[in-house]
């Protein structure tokens, strides 16, 4: 917007400078307009724009509008993902100043493949751009972030309300609990709410005692306690846990009663939900080890069913098996996680699984070596 206004001022000044040398008579102005019709890109921008017609008029209008970003362009920055922001800030100085506004960095999410390169120092430099206004921090599978790096980030973010660190394997359970408790104490001393939502899936060896300490911080309000009772269904997407409104994702499995936190899933099957209301002890609610579930819809596996055959070891129900892509040779389906493991002997040929590709490539010699 600023560059557009500057360009308009430049055109206006050029027009005034040329107008001083012109004869103010109508005949002189008409002659000048006629001479400028053939030069739509001349020095006098306004005269060229008025004298041109048709395609020349459109070209001059487009050239004038492309001088700077359009109005409202900077309003999309808070909704742009992190890789796009880092690319946009290298476009020009006005765009760089818009990207580095504190409102843009009040929340950001780091996902693969960018998370593989994120270090403690890089994360700290990104958080410093928010200048204490950070409210949402999502670090998905950031294996280079440790307790020291996350602690420095939390110390600079007193307004933080959502902390998602699923898959950050270098974080320790004790370190996360201590940092969250310290952050909540300092934030509430300043009249702020503190962390309301946290995701700790993938942090190893988080005991029942440490999980209860986290629950005491994020479930301090009655509204969060109501949200915690919302069902959580099995899903293979990595960002599914980021979209659920539950305050904390980790629980203790009611079936195996392990001492370490895990993800406890509910069954989306209506018959199972009715059974759980009548007899809560028989509810098919538990971790993925205690209650095997379909990777397509998340329903529980009945005891008298073996499921459909897939190219991977995951179980799928018959309904999901019908809708999944299948190998053209053995008719085994591909689940959502392994859908990309498709091979084709021809560019536009049928898709086959890895086992069938090996058999077609090596033939009977491969079968004989396996036996």
Q: Which two tokens stand for residue 346?
A: 């021809």
Q: Are residues 202 and 144 in the same domain?
A: yes
Q: Are residues 55 and 110 in the same domain?
A: no
Q: Which two tokens stand for residue 152?
A: 């420095």
Last residue of a domain, one of 192, 216, 250: 250
Instruction: Compute the average pLDDT of residues 175-195.
Output: 91
The reported pTM is 0.69
pLDDT of residue 296: 79
Q: Are residues 223 and 154 in the same domain?
A: yes
Report the 10 Å Cβ neighbour count for 293.
Answer: 24
Of residues 151 and 314, more confidently modeled: 151
Q: What confidence tier does 163 reach under pLDDT thresholds 50, 70, 90?
A: very high
Q: Which two tokens stand for residue 8?
A: 């308009």
Q: Are residues 129 and 243 in the same domain?
A: yes
Q: Are residues 118 and 229 in the same domain?
A: yes
According to DSSP, the β-strands at 136-139 and 162-164 are parallel
Does residue 285 lie within any of the structural domains? no
Last residue of a domain, one of 250, 272, 298: 250
Q: What confidence tier does 231 reach under pLDDT thresholds 50, 70, 90?
A: confident
Does residue 49 lie within any of the structural domains? yes
Q: Are residues 229 and 171 in the same domain?
A: yes
Task: Provide the terminal-to-terminal Cα distance of the chain, rounded to the nearest Å.
Answer: 72
- Res. 236: pLDDT tops 80: no
| CA–CA dist 257, 316 (Å, integer) | 26
3-state secondary structure of 204: coil
Here the CATH number for the domain that contains residue 142 is 3.80.10
Does residue 311 lie within any of the structural domains? no
Instruction: Compute the average pLDDT of residues 156-168.
Output: 93
pLDDT of residue 294: 84
Does residue 111 lie within any of the structural domains? yes
Does residue 275 lie within any of the structural domains? no
Q: Are residues 9 and 149 in the same domain?
A: no
Q: Are residues 239 and 141 in the same domain?
A: yes
- Res. 52: pLDDT tops 80: no
pLDDT of residue 365: 45
Instruction: Compute the average pLDDT of residues 324-343.
Output: 69
Does residue 131 lie within any of the structural domains? yes
Does residue 15 lie within any of the structural domains? yes
Comparing 55-64, 173-182, 255-264, the range with the smallest average pLDDT is 55-64
Q: Are residues 242 and 143 in the same domain?
A: yes
Does residue 153 lie within any of the structural domains? yes
Q: Are residues 107 and 210 in the same domain?
A: yes
Tally of domains within the chain: 3
Q: What confidence tier does 171 reach under pLDDT thresholds 50, 70, 90?
A: very high
Burial class (CB in 10 A: 0-12, 13-18, 19+), 24: exposed
Structural domain of 338: 318-370
Which one, of 191, 126, 129, lies nearest residue 158 by Cα? 191
Of residues 311 and 154, more confidently modeled: 154
Which one, of 272, 266, 270, 229, lies nearest residue 247 by Cα? 229
Which one, of 91, 101, 37, 35, lies nearest residue 68 by Cα? 91
Q: How far is CA 96 from CA 70, 87, 92, 121, 282, in A?
A: 15, 10, 6, 21, 58
Q: Which two tokens stand for residue 249?
A: 């994702």
Q: How far is CA 358 from CA 47, 310, 313, 322, 327, in A?
A: 72, 17, 19, 25, 13
Give φ, ψ of 124 to 5 degrees: -65, -40
Q: Are residues 108 and 177 in the same domain?
A: yes
Q: Are residues 51 and 177 in the same domain?
A: no
Last residue of a domain, one of 218, 250, 282: 250
């Amino acid at each position: 917007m600023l560059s557009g206004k500057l360009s308009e001022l430049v055109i206006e000044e050029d027009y005034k400078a040329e107008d001083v040398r012109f004869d103010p008579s109508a005949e002189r102005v008409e002659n000048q307009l006629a001479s400028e019709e053939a030069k739509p890109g001349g020095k006098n921008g306004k005269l060229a724009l008025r004298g041109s017609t048709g395609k020349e008029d459109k070209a001059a209008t487009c050239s004038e509008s492309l001088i700077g970003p359009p109005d409202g362009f900077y309003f999309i920055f808070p909704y742009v993902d992190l890789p796009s922001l880092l690319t946009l800030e290298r476009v020009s100085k006005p765009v760089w100043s818009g990207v580095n506004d504190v409102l843009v960095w009040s929340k950001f999410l780091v996902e693969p493949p960018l998370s593989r390169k994120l270090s403690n120092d890089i994360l700290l430099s990104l958080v410093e751009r928010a200048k204490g206004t950070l409210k949402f921090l999502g670090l998905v599978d950031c294996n280079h972030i440790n307790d020291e790096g996350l602690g420095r980030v939390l110390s600079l973010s007193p307004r933080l309300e959502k902390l998602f660190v699923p898959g950050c394997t270098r974080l320790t359970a004790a370190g996360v609990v201590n940092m969250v408790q310290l952050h909540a104490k300092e934030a509430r001393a300043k009249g702020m709410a503190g962390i309301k939502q946290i995701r700790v899936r993938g942090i190893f060896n988080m005991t029942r005692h440490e999980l209860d300490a986290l629950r005491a911080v994020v479930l301090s309000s009655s509204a969060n306690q109501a949200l915690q009772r919302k069902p959580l269904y099995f899903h293979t997407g990595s960002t599914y846990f980021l979209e659920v409104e539950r305050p904390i994702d980790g629980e203790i499995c009611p079936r195996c009663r392990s001492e370490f936190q895990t993800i406890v899933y509910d069954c989306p099957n209506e018959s199972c939900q009715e059974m759980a209301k009548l007899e809560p002890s028989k509810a098919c609610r538990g971790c993925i080890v205690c209650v095997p579930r379909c990777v397509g819809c998340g329903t529980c596996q009945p005891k008298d069913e073996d499921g459909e055959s897939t190219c991977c070891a995951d179980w799928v129900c018959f309904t999901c098996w019908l809708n999944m892509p299948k190998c053209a040779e053995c008719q085994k389906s591909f689940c959502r996680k392994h859908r990309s493991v498709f091979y084709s002997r021809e560019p536009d040929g049928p898709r086959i699984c890895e086992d069938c590709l090996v058999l077609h490539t090596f033939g009977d010699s491969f079968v004989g070596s396996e036996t």
